[in-house]
A = this chain, B = another copy of it.
């Protein structure tokens, strides 16, 4: 197994009926780098660590006739992003400037904290600089 072992997540996916609104949020508010779209189907953002965040219109990505297997979820998803240590206050300020309400701030039992906001589709977006899960 070791030789073929998965090394990490490459694509993380969120869904939204309004892909354009998601583009505005993830690019302008969160500062992600758009590398594809937005169009009626999707938008793609490249993260500094090489990963990719994809936003799909679930009705369109769920069509069976696509070149790739169909997928599409409804409801509110969740993603957590890594931010540099010591930037929580700066983020709180920047989110406020964009009129984005911090829904909750959580202090974790083993130390560290997270800021939670909602994207335009209602997905729960978390920003943290800390290790929340066991190593």
How many interface residues does A have (CB within 8 Å)? Answer: 69
A98 CB, nearest partner CB in chain B, Å: 12
* Residue of A56, A73, A75 most packed against chain B (CB within 10 A): A73
Q: Which of B53, B56, B71, B114 contacts A9 (CB 8 A)?
A: B53
Question: In the assembly, how many copies of this chain are there?
Answer: 2
Which residues of A does B touch, CB under 8 Å? 1, 3-13, 15, 30-32, 35-36, 44, 46-54, 56, 58, 61-62, 67-84, 87, 90-91, 94, 103-104, 106, 114, 116, 118, 123-124, 126-128, 132-135
Interchain residue pairs with CB less than 8 A apart (10): A3-B84, A6-B47, A6-B82, A9-B53, A9-B79, A9-B82, A52-B132, A67-B106, A73-B74, A73-B76
